[in-house]
Amino acid sequence: MNLKTMELPVLPLRGIMLFPGMVLHFDIARPRSIAALEQAMEAGQKIFLVAQKQEEQEEPAPADLCPVGTVAAVRQIMNLPGENIRVLVEGEVRGTIQEVLSEENYLLARIELHRDRVPRSAESKALVRTAQDLFDEFARSSQRVSTEMVEGLRQQEKPGEIADLLASSILQKWQERQEMLEEMDPVKRLEKACALLMRETELADTEKEIQSRLRKQVERSQKDYYLREQIRAIQNELGEGDDADDQSGYRKRMEETPLNEEARAKCEKEIERMGRIAPGSPEYIVSETYIDWILDLPWGKETEDSLDLAKAREVLDREHYGLDKVKERIIEYLAVLRMKKNMKGPILCFVGPPGVGKTSIVRAIAEAVNRKFVRMSLGGVRDEAEIRGHRKTYIGSMPGRIITGMKQAGSMNPVFLFDEIDKMASDFRGDPASAMLEVLDAEQNFAFRDHYMEIPFDLSKVMFITTANSVETIPEPLLDRMELIEVPSYTEEEKLQILKRHLKPKQEAEHGMAAGTIRMSDAVMREMIEKYTREAGVRGLERVMAKCCRKSAVYLLENQKKRITVTSSRLHEFLGAARYTREPLEKEARVGIVNGLAWTSVGGETLEVECVLMPGKGNLKLTGQLGDVMRESAEAAFSWVRAHSAELGLEEDFYTKVDLHIHLPEGAVPKDGPSAGVTMTTALVSALTGRKVRQDVAMTGEMTLRGRVLPIGGLKEKTLAAYRAGVRTLVIPKENHKDLEEIPAYVRDHFRIVEAEEIQQVLKTALV
Ligand code: ADP
């Protein structure tokens, strides 16, 4: 049959297509399709099958059909329930619609037939063989091909038919198959098919590789698991099982530990859980850590208190020189505890500058009452979680520092020191102060809950003590619960004694020397204190002493000596040039320069206030890093002077002609506070009136607008500074009279002390 065209009914296919030489069955339901089929059955059982471009189109027009289709013979028809009909067709030859003849009930068209030419070139033969080999290879890589198909392909010789066969067996999408259908040249079609084969083989290989890798992984972990289980079973049989050991070990420890009810339940549950997790897995370790934390806490362990006051006194005296008032307060506190027979008392807070022995005295208290000692610095703690811990749900979470401290203490009743409670900050991560409140509150702390532990823990037997540098930044509610004990800064004399009796022997011992190896006269020690340290406490002094010991050690070894005498010149050699020098006070009275006294973190300092006058319009200029409060007291001083111009012998409108400049030297140090009020007033008056100020007078005091002198803080420190500077007359606010007690008599007796109530008294004392 070599017909070039045929008139055939056209059946549009949705989402499928048919190659010549292949069979296909499908269901039809569209009335037009059924009509086309009926027509075909009447005339020669041939039908033209062609894919429609859009699958979802219900009634495609000729233009909506793909250009190439297949002429097929209908082999079988089966009526299905409903209107559906199932047909079995066999593809015969490619065809294209040449002309639409009718579109009435169905599409009737003249179809041009395209039979494959039979190529005879050697190239096509080679291509056929290549295709067969490639298919073999593909079949080996892919599980999708049956051996029959491979055999079937071997039988074929025609390149076009092989290509069709290949396309139908490897291409999944109908659109890709359609492309192959539209390729009329059999050799080109086979070339395309070969390329496809290669691509598919490669993909199949990769797929296979991935699969086998995955399989291996799964197998391996299954094998591991299996082996591990076996080991476990064997070990359990032998009674040396690791996890069984873990679990029963924990159980045993749990039985022996007097946990509270909630803790026991929690611990039990966790041990149970542990049994169900693979040992060594991260979860297992989390469980283990948690149980360890519970069992490591000092449940029920307590040290026995020693409330022997004589012994306490002895310990306190042994460790610390001076501090009589502080020690007395501690003894009182211990006495009350002893009377009450329990350790519930107010929380002590030692307040004072750095290095005055706050921490070490708390350590001594612990020793005196025979308790364990733990210390936690609150400086810079801004996260509640640091105190209370992180919830267990966070990876790597830990209990907070309270629980950590308790574990470290190893007893339920240690002395627990919170250092620098005034340096605690709060921010978005929660307020550590509120957590601290709970810890320090005797009503609540018998059941302290850490976020990590999730169980209540009794802190009520702990003796909490705190320290602070100043009380100003301690949150009010915390302050309410604490009893403040001030630890003042040391006088030079006290420092000398501390150095002689404590720091020097301590440092000698720490450097491997017998006590007394280093000999130093009091004068040299004084020099060490005055020229190499400037501080309220003795921490710097201890460091300087340590340096001295190191240098001495070198000297002793190099010179084969047993002892060394540190003279003044050797001191300079060891420590370098003097770090601090004190300029002696001016002898001559001067205009506009007044000695004030300031209180800084390193103790008291003398502070010169200068005032000059220049032609101008009454402006007041202030320099020297002054804070707002200090600026305000300068303004107040100026107002007072203006209000009292007549009394001071100034022209009423003096301020319209002059500008005033007040300066506080040592500009790098920020200064603030109201206590320079009287000093600035005196400087202003002196500058304006031209009256000289006596330079052996120093003063301190706040002043009101009406000229009243108000009390100030840090009198002891300021007095000591004045003493060091060689001041002879000291002006202080009357209301500070009571504080004079704290000042050693030899210092107090050194001065003429003027206790002022009104600024006039100050002026009378200071101005010549
Ligand atoms: P703070 O806690 O007040 O900053 P520390 O307790 O750390 O001070 O004291 C610093 C050092 O000074 C410690 O080595 C301490 O032993 C020593 N020290 C302080 N005051 C005295 C004192 N009165 N007697 C003996 N040593 C003291």
**What is the rounded CA–CA span in Å between residue 267 and residue 249?**
13
Alpha-carbon distance values, 128 to 144, 193, 577, 647, 700 (Å): 21, 11, 102, 128, 113
607: CA distance to ligand 1 center in Å? 27
192, 721, 739 from 734: Cα distances, Å: 111, 19, 10
How far is ligand 1, taken at its centre, from the CA of residue 602, in Å?
14
Would you state the pLDDT for residue 1?
A: 41
Instruction: Give the whole-angstrom CA distance, residue 70 versus residue 48.
Output: 6
Ligand 1 centre to CA of 497 (Å) is 13
Among this protein's residues, is 301 annotated catalytic? no
Place of tokens 């506070």: 673
How much distance in Å is there from the Cα of 327 to the middle of ligand 1? 14
The two tokens of residue 682 are 């005196």
Residue 92 three-state SS: strand
| Bridge partner residues of 87 (DSSP) | 26, 77
Q: Which of 718, 734, 738, 764 is catalytic?
A: 718
The closest-lying atom of ligand 1 relative to the alpha carbon of residue 353 is 3
Mutate which of 367, 538, 543 for ligand 1 pocket (most atoms within 8 A of beta carbon): 538
User: Which residue owns the Cα nearest ligand 1 atom 6?
Assistant: 357
Residues with CB under 6 A from ligand 1: 320-323, 354-360, 467, 498, 502, 537-539, 542
Q: Determine which residue's CA is closest to atom 24 belonging to ligand 1.
A: 320
Atom of ligand 1 nearest to the CA of 360: 6
DSSP string for residues in 302-348? -PPP---HHHHHHHHHHH-SS-HHHHHHHHHHHHHHHHHTS---PEE
In this prediction, residue 492 carries a pLDDT of 82
Q: Rounded to whole angstroms, how far apart are CA atoms 233 and 244?
A: 10
Mutate which of 360, 490, 498, 501 to test ligand 1's pocket (most atoms within 8 Å of Cβ)?
360
- Per the CB < 8 A criterion, the answer to whether 746 and 627 are in contact is no
Mean pLDDT per 10-residue run, the chain (768 residues)? 79 91 89 91 91 88 91 90 88 92 90 86 86 87 79 85 88 88 91 90 87 85 80 70 68 88 90 81 85 91 87 91 90 86 79 90 92 90 85 81 93 93 73 85 87 91 90 83 88 89 94 91 91 87 94 92 91 87 77 87 79 89 83 91 89 86 73 84 93 93 93 87 88 93 86 93 92
Written as one letter, the residue type at 367 is E
Q: List the beta strands (DSSP E) in 616-743.
A: 620-623, 658-663, 692-693, 697-699, 702-703, 709-710, 729-733
Which of 287, 675, 686, 716 is catalytic? The answer is 675
Q: How far apart are the first and last CA of the chain?
A: 144
Query: Would you say 413 and 343 are in contact if contact means Cβ atoms under 8 Å apart?
Result: yes
| Residues belonging to the chain | 768
Ligand 1 atom with the smallest distance to the CA of 502 is: 25
Q: Indicate which residue's Cα is closest to atom 15 of ligand 1.
A: 357
434 in active site: no
Q: Select from 196, 113, 128, 136 the least CA-distant residue to 161.
A: 128
Please name every residue paired with 591 in a beta bridge, in sequence order, or none if there are none: 692
Ligand 1 center from residue 371 Cα (angstroms): 20
Calculate how far, in angstroms, residue 743's C-alpha sits from the geometric centre of ligand 1: 20
Q: pLDDT tens across 380-419, in order?
A: 788 888 888 888 777 778 899 999 999 999 999 999 999 9
What is the DSSP track for 722-749?
HHHHT-SEEEEEGGGGGGGGGS-HHHHT
Cβ-based burial of 223 (10 A; exposed 0-12, middle 13-18, buried ≥19)? exposed
Q: Which two tokens stand for residue 650?
A: 């100034």
Whole-number pLDDT of residue 241? 56
pLDDT digits (tens, 9 = 90+) for 631-657: 888 999 999 999 998 888 888 888 888
Q: What is the pTM of this model?
A: 0.61
